[in-house]
Structure 1
Amino acid sequence: MKQIMNLLILLSILGLALSGCGSTARQQAAADTTQHLGKAVKDTPRQIGQKGQISASIIGYSFDKSYEKADLIAEVEISEWLEEMNEPIEKTVFRASVKKILKNSESNSPEEINLLQDGNSDYTFNNYPLFKNGDKLLLFLKKAVGEKFENTYWILGGTTGVFRLIHTDEQAYAVKQVGDCPELSEAKATENDDIAEIRKILNESYSFELSKISSIPEIYNLDMVESLIKEHK
C-alpha cells in the first residue's frame, strides 16, 4: 500500500513538472510569435531634400471647389513612410490612419489610406518639408490612378490644401499650412481663443515645418470647420 502511495505521489509530481514545462514552452512560443509579428514602421528619413528644392506653380482651389472635387475629406494621422520616387516626378508615399471622414465618394469607409506628397528626400517641393509619423492633418483628397499602392490619394491643391491639426486642453484647431480660406472665416480663431497656447503647441508639434513658412498660418476652430464641411452635403 505504501509503495502504491509513493508511486501516486511520484506520478503527481511528474505531472506537475511536465505541466510547468508545457506552460513555459507555450509562454515562450507566444513571446516568439509576438516578436515575430511585431512590425517596426519607418519614419521619414529626411524631411528636407538634400540636393535642393523644386519651385513650381500650384493650382489652389477654393473651399467650395475643393469640396466638389474631393473624393475623400478626412482627418488623418501619418503612421508610416512607405517609399519615395523620382519618376515621373519627385514624390513620397505615406500610410495614414483615418480618424474621421467628412466626405466620402467611395462605398466603403477606409480605416487606412496611402497618401502622396510632392517632393522626396532628394528634392523639397516649394520649400515645404515632408510629413512625418504622428502628423495630424485635415485633407481634401482625390483618388489616385495607376499607383503601386492600392487605395492611394493625392492632396487637392498640394501644400495649399493642407490643414495641420492641434489640440489644446479646451479645443481642437485646424491650421492652414499655406494661405487662408475665406469660406471658413466664421470658424477663424478669435480673441476668445488662447492664441498664445495654440502657437506654443503648434511650435512644439511642427517647429521644423513652420520654420519654412514666412507668414503666420491661419487658425480655425476644428469643430466649426467640420460643421461647415458637413453643411455642404
Structure 2
Amino acid sequence: MNSRHASLIAEIESEVRQTRQELGFDRLAPAVRAALSAVPRHTFVPPAQRDLAYANHPLPIGNGQTISQPYIVAIMSQLLQCGAGERVLEIGTGCGYQAAVLAAMGLAVYTVEIVPELAQRARTTLLELGYDQVQVRTGDGWQGWPEAAPFAGIIVTAAAPRIPKPLLEQLRPGGRLVIPVGAPEAIQDLCVYVKGLSGEVKGHRVLPVRFVPVTGGLGRQDTP
C-alpha cells in the first residue's frame, strides 16, 4: 500500500467518525479496512484517471458510469454486515471495484452489469487480480440472480426510484439490502432494508448520497 492509498484509508476513517450518528458505527470493521487496504483501486480506473485513483471522490469510468467514492464503498460494505464465506449480490458492477472489496472481505460475490463493455472489463480486471470468487453476469439487474439466491446481502450501486421486489425476495431471512433510493439527478437516500425471519422487511434511511441512476427495468417507474 503506497502513501496515497494509506492517506485515503485515513481519510475514510475520519469521515466515518464524522458521520457516526447517521451510520450507527464510528470506525471501520477490521475486515472492511483490510479489504480497502488490499484492493488496488488504481487498477479499476481508466489510465487517464489513475493519478486521482486514491482521492476520496467518484471518478468517471466511461459509458456514463462512475467508480464510487471510496468512503461510500466502505460504508456500504460495512452496512451489509456479512461475514466471510457468505454469498452476496451486487447490482451495477461498473469497473468491479466494489465487487473486489467484497471479495477481499472473503465474500462470494455475484455481480450484474447491464453495459457489456463494463462487464467484460470488470471480469478481466477481477480475474487478473485473482478475485476468482466473483462471478460477473452481463444483463439487467432488475431480476437479480435467482438461481444463486438466497443472498446474505445485496448491494445496489446506482440510484433506484423504488425498492425492487425481486431483490427483496432473493434475500435470505436476516439478510440486508443496501441501496440508494431516489430520483435521478437529485440527492437520494442511502437505505438499508432487513428481512426478518418470517419474511417481513423493515428499512431505514442512513444518509444522503448522490449516485448515477440505474438503467433497465430497475430504473423504470412503471415496472411491476
Give the shorter-chain TM-score range.
under 0.3
More relative contact order, 1 or 2 (CA 8 Å, 6+ apart): 1
Q: What TM-score do you get using the length of structure 2 for normalisation?
A: 0.27
Q: Higher Cα Rg: structure 1 or 2?
A: 1
> As a proportion of its length, which structure holds more helix?
2
Q: What TM-score do you get using the length of structure 1 for normalisation?
A: 0.26
